[in-house]
Structure 1
């Protein structure tokens, strides 16, 4: 079994059917890519590498990561004669299938606060105890890596998006991953390996600054499901709604972003229309379906129950949006998730109506909110076997789910789509907010994008901005200002320093000003800062960090 491209639960089949596909093809799961630049060895700086972002972990949307590549291979040709390679059992170390703490001879070469990008191989192919992508990344994070690149194992193969399997153990791993990860081609991986084998240190710049299209007004969507019986996945989804609603409201109120919720649909194949599975999950003879929440047709809630609640929530948004209060949807879904659970047998239309009243639904649209809401909700029972009726609400959802030339199709649940492109990574409020911020033109991001929870603070002591602005060595003459996009910081360079550009990352630096070359800095006779030690004809200037010293008169030791 391969280590990449696992759809979450039965949603794999569901979405492929609604998109009209017949296999796990590339088009079934849109691949989101970012750029990688080889910055060292310098002879490869013109070469760029594409990588497919994983759908877990934290991708640094709008930012960059400069790091040294570490490949924990057991191949002795990558090491000098006196270095023993690491050894993992039962799978070779370069696959990352074993906790590195249990491997012999393994150590992560970290110094001077540099970032480590671990390079791992895809595979090995096996049916028992498959080495999934998420396991590789989790073990690399445990070892101290800051990012992971997995090298594809087939030359010429398309890149694919890594998704955690829906088994609880892997879902938990995915939840705990806080580093970035992605897949690169075998050809690009071989280039990196050849450089390492030649004894070169390899430094890469991972770049997320162009991963999303930028617009002055950002539109974003959440594709989800009202089901609360899917374990960690459902828990994360409900937590996201709770944690994101304050930020979503700020973005909406600012007028800089618009949000719309949507709900995943699938279609039942014609040959299964008369089965209990389709009849309990679908309306319109299999045209519109929702997944059974517990996987059992005979027990618990059915897919039709989920479809009905999904449509009630979608209709609430439409009524609230028409009334100019779209952000009430967050309150409605949050309260429903807390009070109307399947576990407590409260996942019902009656509970949904109580929540509607609690969040002020009846007062919407000049006190016609309840009527408009009820008129919007399709009659699931009446539509079960109907093949001629039109259901515009569901038809529109299905069309939006399929996507268009300017909008990626939605193929997994949950999905966030920003300016028509799918977000990849962990579905937590801070990470999604970061991606939304990256979708604004550089410099026009809302103020909340600089919040600590959203933007990495590159100006903390010993962070990259702090070091490159030389805050410590300048004795606080220089300062570092944290920003959201690009390198993540701006330098303010004081007297004795000048602003420069780092050769590797392109980020700003404060470079020492050589006052001894720029003579305008040196006090001269008659000047406002005349110093006797600098003013005489036999005085010399000695450049220092952030300043200079003058020698005073030097003795004439010339004998000729």
Structure 2
């Protein structure tokens, strides 16, 4: 059995091209004190615990005087890393060696540490600290590790130890904000998994994660926030061993696609080729569901299959799988067509694409750890846990484009709740420029009820646009007096405040009533009596006089009436005369026209007195 595992590993090494590589995922570490160490350093993210993707952690480094490799428990009565109220969290520095990385982290966590740094014991490029193989260790604690961990170089570790020995306080800032790319408003992520459910704690972890993460994954996918793709690792059998019993039981398509025996025992249970076929079935189901624009059905199928068709109940096969597929409304024949003939000596296009995808490209390295999440072309490091993975996915969104699920209290801290994030705000209007994001906050002038605020977002924001007066009166002066409201906001203007007529001031925070009487702006005629009012004035005239506001003068009411009626009579008489004259002219012209017509008719029948004989000049041509 072990020979076969070695064979498969050897085969995988043959298959991976020479330019393939494993990429160590890193985050930055910035030392803020002492001055002698102030700088930014790289550290390798551990593949366990919960890295704070998209966030930061500030803490004080402690290097214990005993148990410096952290391979034994720290007794609380001897050493405690719990931070005191008001103090910074404690980050433990431990030396590499003598025990698993995970055990070091677990011991530090139990003693109250907020994070652990492991200093390498030799000069070499940074490596990824991974979980141990279950068969070689007691791994009961592995899923309980929650503190983040990182490997640092030997030289950097030695520098920290020297500073601490000199009595300096070493403060550091662990920064995961740029650990994952966040180029746009959609996150693309892959999950490299396996349909095997008899491979120990790792298989149990995968199945549990899929069940727990299914709801969030489907919400993100249906909302168009993410693009998810499942992948499956396979190996191939070297040509010299294709006809061997081992390869025949572990591979399909003439040794092209292989998987280890689920029980690691060729004499019982299911074979590796059963796992490969089920992997292929799951990949095909995703392909068909994606073509039908329902890629999220993959999560339903894998979850239901693990419950209804487990290996331990001898239901892990096509018959049970087809029932699950049919229950999801997917055509089983389409899946079978995609799977093809697994006994034929030909390439399977789906599994061939899976093998090609396993090879690293761009910033992403080869996929060699199972399970593996790849988010925006970077491999996720850390615990396979719903909350931890959701944090990592949220870190992949461009600032301010993340969905609301990324801004929940369980995922991130709302920095706008404390001192408004240092951004501008108008408490009276309940308007703020602070916008919470997954990584922190941005100070950005808001849009309220369709009205846009403009400014730097930090010291000032002011409303802009034609409808701006509806929001806090456009930031202009406003006052109500005797049930009437006066405003300095200029309607239908994009900006600006101007005191209304009858007031003076800057229009923003003050407009004072103008005393038209005192300043002699109105009601200045000799007969006038002026009285100032709020925003205006009243003017009355002495005696039987009428005030004309537009001319700022007084006139007699009687004279006005007489002049008015005389004017009306003149107009009336003028119109009447014009009508009579027009009628007379009309009658005169009609009569002359009739006389002319009658004379013309009579001239045709008898000569008139004033007409002589008219000679006949007509002749007829022969």
Q: Report the TM-score, using the length of structure 2 for normalisation.
A: 0.65
1:166 partnered with 2:119: no
Q: How does 1:339-354 map to 2 (within 5 A)?
A: 339-354=308-323
| 1:204-237 CA-partner distances (Å, limit 9, x unpaired) | 1000011011121211011100000122211111
Would you say the 8 A contact 1:135–1:170 is kept in 2?
no
> Which protein is bigger by CA-based radius of gyration?
2
Cα 1:22–1:122 shift into 2, 3 Å: farther
Question: In the alignment, is residue 311 of structure 1 matched against residue 259 of structure 2?
Answer: no
Deviation at 1:163, TM superposition (A): 1.3
Distance (Å, rounded) in 1 between the aligned partners of 2:23 and 2:295? 28
Partner Cα distance (2:307, 2:78) in 1: 49
1:258 correspondence with 2:227: yes
Does residue 108 of structure 2 align to residue 140 of structure 1? Answer: yes
> What is the CA distance between 1:244 and its match in structure 2?
1.1
Find the partner of 1:374 among 336, 343, 346. Answer: 336
* Residue 438 (structure 2) aligns with: 485
Aligned residues: 436
Partner of 1:442: 399
Matched-pair contact (CA < 8 Å) for 1:280–1:302: yes
Contact 2:16 2:359 in 1 (8 A): no
Aligned positions of 1:293-372 closer than 5 A: 293-361=262-330, 369-372=331-334
Residue 159 of structure 1: how far off its partner (Å): 1.1
2:586 alignment counterpart: none
Q: Deviations over 1:316-352 (max 9, x none)?
A: 1111100010001110110001010011111011000
| CA distances 1:135-187 after superposition (whole Å, capped 9, x unpaired) | 000111001111111000002x1111111113275443220001100111101
Paired residue for 1:150? 118
3-state DSSP of counterpart to 1:221: strand
Which of 80, 86, 104 is the matching residue for 1:107? 80
String of CA shifts for 1:281-305, please: whole Å, max 9, x gaps: 1124432111211111111111000
State the Cα deviation string for residues 6-48 of structure 1 (Å, max 9, x = none). xxxx98985674354799x996532101000001113433x11
Q: Quote the residue 1:229 is aligned against.
A: 198
Q: List gaps (5 residues or longer) in structure 2.
A: 423-429, 445-456, 460-508, 511-622
Secondary structure at the counterpart of residue 293 of structure 1: coil
| Contact residue 16 and residue 22 of structure 1 kept, 8 A | no
The farther-off stretch of 312-321 and 189-198 is 189-198
The 1:143/1:480 distance shift into structure 2, 3 A limit, reads farther
Cα 1:213–1:242 change in 2 (3 A) is same
User: What is residue 157 of structure 2 aligned with on the other side?
Assistant: 189
Task: Give the Å deviation of 1:110.
Answer: 2.2
Q: Distance in 2 between matches of 1:288 and 1:351?
A: 23
Q: Deviations over 1:232-273 (max 9, x none)?
A: 211111111111111111211221210011111122345544
3-state DSSP class of the match of 2:384?
Answer: coil
Matched, 1:18 2:12: yes
The aligned runs of 1:55-134 (5 Å cut-off) are 55-74=47-66, 93-101=67-75, 105-108=78-81, 110-111=83-84, 112-124=86-98, 131-134=99-102
**Segment drifting more, 421-430 vs 273-282:** 273-282
The answer to whether the 8 A contact 2:55-2:175 is kept is yes
Question: Are 1:390 and 2:384 counterparts?
Answer: no
Contact 1:116 1:146 in 2 (8 A): yes
Q: CA shift at 1:466, angstroms? A: 8.8
Retained in 1: the 8 A contact 2:322–2:332? no
Alignment CA distance shift 1:272-1:257 (3 Å): same
Residue of structure 2 in register with 1:199 after alignment: 167
Contact 1:18 1:266 in 2 (8 A): yes
CA change 1:393–1:468 in 2 (3 A) is closer
- CA distance in structure 2 between the aligned counterparts of 1:455 and 1:269, rounded to whole angstroms: 49
Shift of 1:443: 2.3
- What SS does the corresponding residue of 1:172 show, helix, strand or coil? coil
Q: Which has the higher contact order (CA 8 A, sep 6+)?
A: 1
**1:441/1:113 Cα in 2 relative to 1: closer, same or farther (>3 Å)?**
same
Q: Aligned in 2, Cα 1:113/1:486: closer, same or farther, shift over 3 Å? A: farther
Helix, strand or coil for the counterpart of 1:321? Answer: helix
Deviation at 1:459, TM superposition (A): 8.7
Q: 1:21·1:28 contact (CA, 8 Å) conserved in 2?
A: no
Q: CA deviation at 1:408?
A: 2.6
Q: Deviations over 1:494-528 (max 9, x none)?
A: xxxx989xxxxxxxxxxxxxxxxxxxxxxxxxx99
Do the aligned partners of 1:16 and 1:28 also contact (CA within 8 Å) in 2?
no
Cα distance change, pair 280–404 in 1 and its aligned pair in 2 (3 A): same
Distance 2:315 2:410 in 1: 35
Evaluate the alpha carbon distance shift between residue 176 and residue 27 of structure 1 in structure 2; reply closer, same or farther with a 3 A threshold.
Answer: farther
Q: Deviating runs (4+, > 4 A) in structure 1?
A: 10-16, 25-28, 456-460, 465-469, 479-484, 487-491
> Aligned partners of 1:277 and 1:343: how far apart in 2?
22
Match among 207, 214, 235 for residue 182 of structure 2: 214
Please give the alpha-carbon distance, in whole angstroms, between the structure 2 residues aligned to 1:255 and 1:52. Answer: 32
Structure 1: tracts of 5 or more residues without a match: 1-9, 75-92, 125-130, 362-368, 470-476, 492-497, 501-526, 529-560
Distance 1:115-1:13 versus aligned 2 partners, 3 A rule: farther
- More deviation in 171-180 or 220-229? 171-180
The alignment partner of 2:382 has SS state of: coil
Contact 1:218 1:257 (C-alpha < 8 Å) held by counterparts: yes
Of 329-338 and 404-413, deviating more is 404-413
Which residues of 2 match residues 417-428 of structure 1 at below 5 A? 417-428=374-385
Q: 1:66 to 1:219 in 2, by over 3 A?
A: same
CA distance in 1 between partners of 2:433 and 2:59 (Å): 21
Residues 43 and 486 of structure 1, relative CA distance in 2, 3 Å threshold? farther
Partner of 2:30: 37
Root mean square deviation of aligned Cα: 3.2
